[in-house]
Amino acid sequence: MHNLTQNRELADLLFPDIQKTPEYYEVLYPKRQLPEGAKVTRFAPSPTGYVHMGSLYASLVSERLAHQSNGVFFLRVEDTDKKREVEGGVSNIIRALSRFGISFDEGVTDVDDEKGSYGPYKQSERMEIYKTFAKRLVEKGLAYPCFCSEEDLDKIRAQQEEKKETPGYYGEYAVHRNSTLEQVREELSRGKPFVLRVKAPDNPDSRFVFKDLIKGDVEMPENFQDIVLLKSDGLPTYHFAHVVDDHLMRTTHVTRGDEWLPSAPLHVQLFEMLEWEKPYFAHISPIMKMEGSSKRKLSKRKDPEADVSFYHEQGFPGISVIEYLVNLINSNFEDWRRENPESPNTSFKIELERMSVSGAMFDIVKLTDMSKDIVAGMTAEEVYNMSLEWAEEYDSELWALLSRDEKYAKRIFSIDRGGEKPRKDIAKWLDVKPNIFYFFDELFTRDAAEGYNFPDTIPADEVNRLIREYAKVYNHSDSKDMWFDRVKEFCEVMGYSKDVKTFKKNPGAYKGHVGDVTGIIRVAVTNRRNTPDLYEIMQVMGENMVMERFDKAINR
RNA sequence: GGCCCAUUGGUCAAGUGGUCAAGACAUCGCCCUCUCACGGCGGUAACAGGGGUUCGAAUCCCCUAUGGGUCACCA
């Protein structure tokens, strides 16, 4: 057993270079002056550059919590594992999040830049801080060096497995826990590397209860493992860094994936050992994916849609993804949206208590539907600008066509848009090309070369006859009503009923109905059976293009 | 395996002891319509199972099953 002076000696022995004190940092990073109820949250990724859907989800929760309470949302980079570091990773993460409208009030802003007065915000630059608090823990007899090698640890584990005991470094298995100062000195003099471990209370049966803002009251065993605080390279583990950083950065609400729930007792224990006020914890359930008949966490390795850049590539507007996620956070968002169709989604207040405690299945069909609604609400101008921007990066051919004649492109996007019931055909910018290709001869030609999509129910001869005759009566300067009147008249001449009802009443009397005829014209002009308003399409195309399409169809 | 968390229609979910168990997406049917879409109307479809507690249970308790998470000098 160490007494107080021995602890102090040990602390100096382990951290001879640490001169600052915890008190120094308490003054350096004072409690934030914020309005009542303001929340301080953070996003704390490893600098891998990869942003998982689950991370976006969690960061969205954190961001909203902070910003809807006039609080602070900051970015901290958890780069204590060099193996995870990827060149340019930080910038990638920041860029990926900004595409979804998520920005930070303080923290890391780029590879070598940051803002805010609670930094540094990169853990690798906070070594002195961690060591200062580690030293204090040693002084208090709450942490100690452990010289076990990997092999030693393996041996312990093997022993425990054999006896069917809980594996880990604790109690009587914690061989270095009660080393004397002399023993430590000797190991050190032999140049042996060490890790710093917490001296956990040795009572495996004691229970720990805490209130999670999402999961509710959770009861678990108290932590009794002597978890590593400082690795042998001197860098802190997540556990220690989290506690030190979130205290010093004055985080009020720790929002993170629920894979952290099992280590929450450890974290709370550390807060208590350091005599710090505990933050609130909110453990977020993972986003799942259906595989066969069972669900599992969306996987970075297996699922392309787990990577948020997937949505950028597909051309989902960032706001669509965000609204989908907001709805996953609080499902009453949909009701709110219906009542507030014009409000920005940031006006919707999220509530942690309303979050689901179990993992939600990621539903790309629903995302697509929501996105269609959002795009349908955009102006032609917006659709043009956003699809152009997308095309610039992902589809140079489309980009060239859209920028070649801006006015023409915007007229295309104006069809069936802006009215009471806007067309819902575009969910993502990837959908644009297949929806508008027929307005461009080069794309249309390529498409028609694959074959025309005339219905099989009408013989080719009849198709040709209809197009040839229709081309003769087509008058490009007709108003919409006149155009349709003329179509109906044409139908009667050709032996088709001028409306569907008449045909249905007496199918034997006609070759078909007006829908069949317009269907043929539609395919001739667009090579699609489903399109927006045919009249509008032909008006936008212009007379020449329309007539050429008729020719081309007849001579196919 | 230990420890946690969970389980309402195909999916997201409302629901906190008394509801004909909302709504949305998907699906199906009908209507509207030049097609498709949009829109409108309607349909199919759920409290994992078993025990309790209670006048009464999706809601509370226990057990079972299933799913998920976690048990590193990774985060």
If you write DSSP's letter for every residue of A301-337 in order, what string do you get? TT-GGGBTHHHHHHT--HHHHHHHHHHHH-TTHHHHH
Band the pLDDT of A88: cuts 50, 70, 90.
Answer: confident
A370 CA, B28 C1': Å apart: 22
Band the pLDDT of A293: cuts 50, 70, 90.
Answer: low
What pLDDT, on the 0 to 100 scale, is given for residue A91? 92
Measured CA to C1', what is the nucleotide nearest A263?
A: B70
pLDDT over threshold 80, residue A273: yes
Please state, for a pLDDT cut of 90, what percent of chain A lies above it: 61
Nucleotides of B under 7 A from a protein CB: 2-8, 11-15, 22-26, 32-39, 66-75
What pLDDT, on the 0 to 100 scale, is given for residue A459? 86
A281 CA, B9 C1': Å apart: 33
Report which residue is nearest nucleotide B75 when distances run from CA to C1'.
A238
Q: What is the pLDDT of residues A475-522, one digit of tens each?
A: 998 888 889 888 888 988 888 888 877 777 777 788 888 888 899 999
Band the pLDDT of A260: cuts 50, 70, 90.
Answer: very high
A285 CA, B37 C1': Å apart: 36
Q: Give me the torsion for CA of A252, A253, A256, A259, rounded to 10°.
A: 90
A238-248 vs A264-273: helix axis angle to the nearest 10?
50
A343 CA, B75 C1': Å apart: 37
Three-state secondary structure call for residue A237: coil
DSSP letter at A286 equals P
Measured CA to C1', what is the nucleotide nearest A123?
A: B75
A357 CA, B57 C1': Å apart: 21
Measured CA to C1', what is the nucleotide nearest A287?
A: B68
A294 CA, B66 C1': Å apart: 10
Measured CA to C1', what is the nucleotide nearest A498?
A: B34
d(CA A524, CA A117): 66
Three-state secondary structure call for residue A175: coil
A426 CA, B24 C1': Å apart: 20
Query: Which one has a higher pLDDT value, A219 or A393?
Result: A393
pLDDT over threshold 70, residue A109: yes
Band the pLDDT of A92: cuts 50, 70, 90.
Answer: very high
Report which residue is nearest nucleotide B69 when distances run from CA to C1'.
A259
Band the pLDDT of A82: cuts 50, 70, 90.
Answer: confident
Complete DSSP assignment for A401-436: HHHHTHHHHHHHHHTT-SSSS-----SSGGGHHHHH
What pLDDT, on the 0 to 100 scale, is given for residue A278? 94
Nearest alpha-carbon partner for A368 in A323, A337, A422: A323
Mean pLDDT of chain A: 90
Report which residue is nearest nucleotide B23 when distances run from CA to C1'.
A335
pLDDT over threshold 60, residue A446: yes
Nearest alpha-carbon partner for A253 in A76, A55, A40, A59: A40
Per the CB < 8 A criterion, the answer to whether A130 and A240 are in contact is yes
Quote the tokens at residue A157: 């584990």
d(CA A223, CA A200): 7
Listed in sequence order, the residues at least 6 apart from A176 whose beta carbon sits closer than 8 Å to its beta carbon are A144, A145, A146, A147, A148, A197
What pLDDT, on the 0 to 100 scale, is given for residue A5? 84
Where does A77-205 show beta strands of DSSP type E? Answer: 106-110, 113-115, 143-146, 195-198
A201 CA, B48 C1': Å apart: 40
Query: Which one has a higher pLDDT value, A292 or A530?
Result: A530
What pLDDT, on the 0 to 100 scale, is given for residue A535? 92
pLDDT over threshold 60, residue A1: no
Query: Which one has a higher pLDDT value, A265 or A419?
Result: A265
Per the CB < 8 A criterion, the answer to whether A295 and A288 are in contact is yes
d(CA A513, CA A495): 9
Measured CA to C1', what is the nucleotide nearest A529?
A: B35
Per the CB < 8 A criterion, the answer to whether A373 and A351 are in contact is no
What pLDDT, on the 0 to 100 scale, is given for residue A245? 97
What pLDDT, on the 0 to 100 scale, is given for residue A292? 65
pLDDT over threshold 70, residue A247: yes
Report which residue is nearest nucleotide B70 when distances run from CA to C1'.
A262
Q: Which of A115-124, A172-181, A356-365, A517-526 has the lowest mean pLDDT?
A: A356-365
- Compute CA A283 distance to the chain's CA centroid, rounded to the nearest angstrom: 17
Rg (CA), chain A: 33
Dihedral sign from CA coordinates of A293, A296, A301, A307: positive
Query: Which one has a higher pLDDT value, A556 or A460?
Result: A460
A339 CA, B32 C1': Å apart: 26
pLDDT over threshold 80, residue A294: no
Band the pLDDT of A358: cuts 50, 70, 90.
Answer: confident
pLDDT over threshold 70, residue A218: yes
Q: What is the pLDDT of residues A193-212, one digit of tens each?
A: 999 999 999 876 788 888 89
Band the pLDDT of A227: cuts 50, 70, 90.
Answer: very high
d(CA A222, CA A268): 10
SS3 percent helix, strand, coil of chain A, rounded to 5, is 50, 10, 35
Report which residue is nearest nucleotide B6 when distances run from CA to C1'.
A358
